[in-house]
Chains A and B, each alone.
Chain A
Amino acid sequence: MAAIKIIVQNLSLQYSDGTESLRDINLDIPANNITVLFGPAGGGKSSLLRCLNRLNDLTEVQTITGKILLDGENILDPKTDVIALRRRVGMVFARPVVLPMSIRQNLTYGLELAGEKHKSKLEEAVERSLKLAALWEEVKDRLEEAAVALSGGQQQRLCLARVLANQPEVILLDEPTSGLDPISTGKVEAALQELKKNYTIILVPHSVQQAARTADFAAFFLQGELVEAAEGKEIFTHPKEKRTEDYVEGRFG
């Protein structure tokens, strides 16, 4: 059993319009593994991810109770340094959002914000993160071009590289391949398998198939409730709960 990186304890979240999107969630997330959060739309997967890097601070949240321990520290504590937290917990979104800058600047932006000035360090981070995201070969000769000129699949890998350049500890991915073709999807998934050696990865997949392909651990969310969490091999072959089984076998959702 791998070391536990994140512990979610009794987490409940209610948006200000009254929607209760998470109800009493308890979940352990192991380090150096891919943990998959899956389930039908509106289950609360994105909501949970956005709690893990406090991006929910932007949305109108009414109440949030419980704890999220990252290496033993409660990140929901109001005293948490949110900026530092977001550098430790990077996030890749469903729709690639490249920033309105060049490819290179997209990658160095996070580091520059953190105060990194050494050219050689930035240079090295650009190359290292692009290689990790399996994008280096495609863009190494056009780093100064506007990032928006890349294809959708390339943009998504650039977003992944941008997060990697920050050298986070945890990477959150919210349906990162939902807009990609099968080949690009394959590249992203392969990159994730490589990355999990050094990072803790939490992925919301865009299909049950992807969930089954990538999961070391998996948690099934249904209408704000965590129904079942187990090892990937377990949950997709012998789910304990009837509701999980129905979903995995495609009987609802």
Chain B
Amino acid sequence: MDKSPNWRETFVTAIVKTCGYSAVVFVILIFFFLLRQGLPALFEVKLGDLFTTRWYPIENHFGILPLLTGSLVVTVGAMLIAIPFGIGTAVFLAEIAPRWMREILKPLVELLGGIPSVVLGFLGILLLSPFLRVFLNLPTGLTALAGALLLGAIAIPTTVSIAEDALDSVPQGYREGALALGATKWQTIWRVTLPAARSGVLTALMLGVGRTIGETMAVMMVTGNAPVMAIKLTSILSPVRTMTATIAAEMGEVANGSTHYHVLFLIGLILFLISLAVNITASSVIFKSRKRAERVLS
């Protein structure tokens, strides 16, 4: 009789363990699949040819540098937009806005995060890029800038929502302590509240960045998709093509097992490694500051 709870324990533990391990197993499986499909590219295309500036698969030119730089320009641009706006909005919501306003604005921001990126891409094509073309007097509005603006807008809700939670959970005592010393509201936010919420704010930024690196649809729709090198400052105003957009656009029409096919997988592998690196950096930073936070709360 008294054995049955024990048996149940074992059973539940086994299920939970399976779930936990399977997540790890899936990541490893995906990684090996990418390796198997992507690595052959390194034998079929010479390394020197891979790192050239000409992407023209039909004539067997597989230079991935334009795609790398394209992704870089769009992502960095998006971060330059999302980080200040995201933190600014979070600070406004958590520290400045009166409660009723915050209770309206925060769900709205989160709703914005739920809009499918295709829909945003649509708005990008119909409104943003014509506006950029006329306003900046460009030959086309489908540029890296349009992609960066759109990606920024996609990353902001995630960033705001998590950063606001982090700021909100800073004990009121910190603010009162600083104010009682004669700090102004801004000095308190800058020197006390934000540093105290550092780990949460960093998490917010990293997740925002993660969304911009992986985002495909919206960028494909508005960046113009021209595989040209984006290394000049003016590149931000010309069309570019990102790694994600290249895979999405070309995967459907390549012959299974061809060199082109393998190179696309190699690009996927590179993307995978980049987001792995971002995640590892993020969690190590967060881990370090969490230990500090735990001491504060003990």
Chain A residues within 8 Å of B296, by CB: 100, 148
A163 contacts B181, CB within 8 Å?
yes
B181 contacts A86, CB within 8 Å?
yes
Binds B, one of A20-28, A106-114, A197-205: A106-114
B298 to chain A, nearest CB (A): 9
A110 contacts B182, CB within 8 Å?
yes
The answer to whether B180 has its CB under 8 Å from any CB of chain A is: yes
A90 contacts B180, CB within 8 Å?
yes
A99 contacts B180, CB within 8 Å?
no
Q: Closest A-chain residue to B198, C-beta based?
A: A100
Give the CA-CA distance A85 to B107 in the complex, in Å: 38
A97 contacts B195, CB within 8 Å?
no
Chain B residues within 8 Å of A101, by CB: 191, 195
* Residues of B248-298 contacting chain A, CB below 8 A: 292, 295-296
Binds A, one of B24-32, B150-158, B168-176: B168-176
The answer to whether A154 has its CB under 8 Å from any CB of chain B is: no
Q: Closest A-chain residue to B176, C-beta based?
A: A55
A99 contacts B182, CB within 8 Å?
no
Size of A's binding interface in residues, CB under 8 A: 27
1/0 contact trace for B31-67 toward A, CB 8 Å?
0000000000000000000000000000000000000
Chain B residues within 8 Å of A163, by CB: 180-181
The answer to whether A162 has its CB under 8 Å from any CB of chain B is: yes
Q: Closest A-chain residue to B98, C-beta based?
A: A60
The answer to whether A146 has its CB under 8 Å from any CB of chain B is: yes
A100 contacts B180, CB within 8 Å?
no
- Name which of A53, A55, A99 has the most chain B CB atoms within 10 A of its CB: A99
* Residues of A23-63 contacting chain B, CB below 8 A: 53, 55, 58
B183 contacts A113, CB within 8 Å?
yes
A84 contacts B182, CB within 8 Å?
yes
Give the CA-CA distance A221 to B251 in the complex, in Å: 77
Give the CA-CA distance A114 to B181 in the complex, in Å: 9
Give the CA-CA distance A84 to B191 in the complex, in Å: 19
Q: Closest A-chain residue to B178, C-beta based?
A: A99
The answer to whether B184 has its CB under 8 Å from any CB of chain A is: yes
Chain B residues within 8 Å of A166, by CB: 181-182
Chain A residues within 8 Å of B176, by CB: 55, 58, 93, 97
Chain B residues within 8 Å of A84, by CB: 182
Give the CA-CA distance A90 to B177 in the complex, in Å: 10
1/0 contact trace for B179-192 toward A, CB 8 Å?
11111100100011
The answer to whether B93 has its CB under 8 Å from any CB of chain A is: no
The answer to whether A157 has its CB under 8 Å from any CB of chain B is: no
Chain A residues within 8 Å of B182, by CB: 83-84, 86-87, 110, 113-114, 166
1/0 contact trace for A144-162 toward B, CB 8 Å?
0010110000000001001
Chain A residues within 8 Å of B295, by CB: 146, 148-149
Chain B residues within 8 Å of A243, by CB: none
- Selected contact of B180 from candidates A86, A95, A98, CB within 8 Å: A86
- Selected contact of A99 from candidates B177, B184, B198, CB within 8 Å: B177
Chain B residues within 8 Å of A110, by CB: 181-183
Chain B residues within 8 Å of A93, by CB: 173, 176-177, 180
Q: Closest A-chain residue to B172, C-beta based?
A: A58
B177 contacts A100, CB within 8 Å?
no
A77 to chain B, nearest CB (A): 18
The answer to whether B213 has its CB under 8 Å from any CB of chain A is: no
A199 to chain B, nearest CB (A): 15
The 18 sampled A-B contact pairs (Cβ below 8 Å) are: A55-B179, A58-B176, A83-B182, A83-B183, A87-B181, A87-B182, A97-B173, A97-B174, A99-B174, A99-B177, A99-B192, A101-B191, A113-B183, A113-B187, A148-B296, A162-B181, A163-B180, A166-B181
Known: A86-B181, A97-B171, A100-B195. 20 other contacts (CB 8 A): A55-B176, A55-B180, A58-B175, A58-B176, A87-B181, A90-B181, A97-B176, A98-B177, A99-B177, A100-B196, A100-B296, A101-B191, A101-B195, A109-B178, A109-B181, A110-B182, A113-B183, A114-B182, A159-B177, A163-B181
Task: Show the binding face of B for A, using Cβ within 8 Å.
Answer: 171, 173-184, 187, 191-192, 195-196, 198, 292, 295-296
